[in-house]
Amino acid sequence: MPYAKELRIAQLAVQRATLLTKSVFHTTAKGTVSKEDHSPVTVGDFGAQALIISALRHHFPDDEIVAEEEAAELIANKPLSERIWSYVQATMLEDESAEQELGGPIQSEQEMLDAIDMGKSPGGAKGRIWAIDPIDGTKGFLRGGQYAVCLALMVDGDVKVGVLGCPNLPVDDSAPLDAHAGENQTDAEGKGVIFSAVLGEGATSGALSRGALSKEAPIHMKPIEDITQATFCESVESGHSSHSDQAAIAKLLGITKPSVRMDSQAKYGSIARGAGDLYLRLPVRADYEEKIWDHAAGDLIVREAGGEVTDVTGKRLDFTLGRTLKANKGVVAAPKAVHGKILEAVKQVLSSK
């Protein structure tokens, strides 16, 4: 299979990073600080980013990396840096050979800070570029809701590999779609799923494990016979996508089921495995540029599962333009057969505003 090594390293790296986020979740002090744009970042975000970058550097030292977080804040905040370092040191895959495969532990706090800062590539249309969101849906993570550890490889602006670690979604692809699953289920009861895709090779899901990778199975979007029976996913945060526009679109389509609100790219994973049907992300602000790390893995996983992903104008998401999706507004993801119909409703609602 093409990109087999990249896929395997990405899956192991995502899996290890989720272990760190889970141990941070179980402490009361999550080291939450507010970034310049007022969004939160935690010990979990920084630690997960350090672990993923260190594994990528070990195997693919010449690849570029676009990652959400940077270390500047930590250089000024030594106690926070030390806390992250203690989690990074304590986190390893329980399977020793898998841990070794990732290149073993980071050697020092400084090396960890350097790793965090290796995600500053401007991105673009040329070469091999990894996109990392160490915790997507930080607000969901803090609430005990959905979040995802996201990693994608783009080659010449095309997403080739995508991996989403979703520690609070059920493993079972046929479990009813429940935004609160993570709040009332334990790991032993089958919580934690990893979604993956390689361009042209399909999409899969498997159990997130604490060690070696688990067995995976192909996933597919659910064919929709009757759009009025569809379930659509949307953000929890009304500041991230327009709940009112999404409700108007659903109404126009005759959808009566309530939306399922969940944070993060868990929405892409959920529709890719047929637990939900549609993902609508209508812009709230005309000037917001979606970040590539918020969509690269999910876009590929949904397309490989039989879906179509565009923006609200019907254009494919364009990952060639740098760290953001400058040429796109919003996201409409649906099974291929009905995407056109959904898009018509989106356009109608937007043009009547």
Ligand X SMILES: Nc1ncnc2c1ncn2[C@@H]1O[C@H](COP(=O)(O)O)[C@@H](O)[C@H]1OP(=O)(O)O
Q: Which residues are annotated as a binding site?
A: 68, 133, 135-136, 294
* Annotated catalytic residue, options 45, 173, 277, 299: 45
Q: How far is CA 332 from CA 27, 269, 270, 272, 292, in A?
A: 36, 14, 14, 13, 15
Please choose, from the candidates 151, 160, 156, 157, the residue with its C-alpha nearest in 3D space to the C-alpha of residue 1.
160
In the complex, the residues that contact Mg ion under the rule CB under 5 A are 39, 68, 133, 135-136, 138, 294
* Annotated catalytic residue, options 18, 42, 91, 138: 138
Residue stretches of the annotated binding site for Mg(2+): 68, 133, 135-136, 294
DSSP state of 288: P
**Contact flag: residue 70 with ligand X (CB under 6 A):** no
Q: Which does 237 bind (CB under 5 to 8 A by kind): Mg ion, ligand X, none?
A: ligand X
Please choose, from the candidates 318, 320, 319, 253, the residue with its C-alpha nearest in 3D space to the C-alpha of residue 280.
253
Shorter beta-carbon distance to ligand X: residue 85 or 293: 293
Is 138 a known active-site residue?
Answer: yes
Determine the residue type at 114. D
Is 204 a known active-site residue?
Answer: no
127: left (phi over 0), alpha (psi -120 to 50) or beta: left
Shorter beta-carbon distance to ligand X: residue 6 or 263: 263
Shorter beta-carbon distance to ligand X: residue 7 or 232: 232
Determine the residue type at 4. A
According to CB under 6 A, which one of 47, 137, 165, 335 is a site residue for ligand X? Answer: 137
According to CB under 6 A, which one of 6, 109, 136, 304 is a site residue for ligand X? Answer: 136
- If you write DSSP's letter for every residue of 249-273 in order, what string do you get? HHHHHT--SPPEE--STHHHHHHHT
In the numeric block, which tokens belong to residue 203? Answer: 């999409």
**Contact flag: residue 6 with ligand X (CB under 6 A):** no
**Buried-exposed string 79-112: b where 16+ CB fall within 10 A, e elsewhere:** ebbebbbebbeebbbebeebbebbeebbeebeeb
According to CB under 6 A, which one of 117, 263, 277, 308 is a site residue for ligand X? Answer: 263
Shorter beta-carbon distance to ligand X: residue 145 or 335: 145
According to CB under 6 A, which one of 95, 172, 187, 237 is a site residue for ligand X? Answer: 237
Give all strands (DSSP E) within the chain, no chain letters.
Answer: 33-34, 40-41, 64-67, 128-136, 148-155, 158-170, 191-198, 202-207, 216-219, 232-234, 260-261, 278-281, 307-310, 331-335
The three-state (H, E, C) secondary structure of 220-237, written as one string: CCCCCCCHHHCCEEECCC
- Could you give the string, one character per residue 159-198, with x where binding to ligand X holds by CB under 6 A and - elsewhere? ----------------------------------------
Task: Give the number of residues in contact with ligand X, rule: CB under 6 A.
Answer: 14
**Contact flag: residue 243 with ligand X (CB under 6 A):** no
According to CB under 6 A, which one of 39, 100, 108, 256 is a site residue for ligand X? Answer: 39
Shorter beta-carbon distance to ligand X: residue 39 or 110: 39
Q: For the CB of residue 351, give the shortest distance to Mg ion in the complex, in Å.
A: 29
Residue of closest CB approach to ligand X? 235
Q: With contacts defined by CB under 6 A, name the span among 282-290, 299-307, 308-316, 339-347 that binds ligand X.
A: 282-290
- If you write DSSP's letter for every residue of 168-180 in order, what string do you get? EEES-TTSPP-TT
Residue carrying the six token digits 């740098």: 322
Q: What are the residue numbers of the active site?
A: 45, 138
* Interacting residue ranges for ligand X, rule: CB under 6 A: 37, 39, 136-137, 235, 237, 239-240, 263-264, 284-285, 288, 294
